[in-house]
Amino acid sequence: AKYDDEITNKLAKDGSTSINDGDIFSQVLGSVKIARLERFGATRKADRREGMERMRQEMKSKMEERINKVTAHYEAKCDSLQAKCGAMQILSEQVIRQLNCSSSTQPLDHSPNSFEHEFEYLC
């Protein structure tokens, strides 16, 4: 468009009614250069957009991977604590049963390993 205006202005100044071969060549060459520059700029923008999108996807993937690792770690800890809690509950029920059974008829077993041994067996 810019080159078209230049040629039109040149024709108006010269007073001629035809365009010579040099002007046509300049016009075509200028249009090709502009098209290449526009395409190059658009390509660079598209490449930059694609690169940013790729980086965004990589960051998202790494974050999801990290979240999954942390989640798995704490799920394992939770499972371990639940198992320990279950073992403690069983042990406390055994202690209560023994206390109920022996409170009126037998003396309590105060030896250091009486219940600890049972607890270690459960864990």
Question: Under DSSP, is residue 54 helix (H, G, I), strand (E, B) or coil?
Answer: helix
Whole-angstrom distance, CA of residue 43 vs CA of residue 56 = 20
Total-model pTM: 0.40
pLDDT values of the chain reduced to their tens digit, one per residue, 123 residues: 555 566 556 655 555 545 555 566 677 777 777 777 777 777 777 788 888 999 999 999 999 999 999 999 999 999 999 999 999 999 999 888 888 876 555 555 555 555 555 555 544
The closest alpha carbon to 94, from 116, 111, 74, 73, belongs to 116
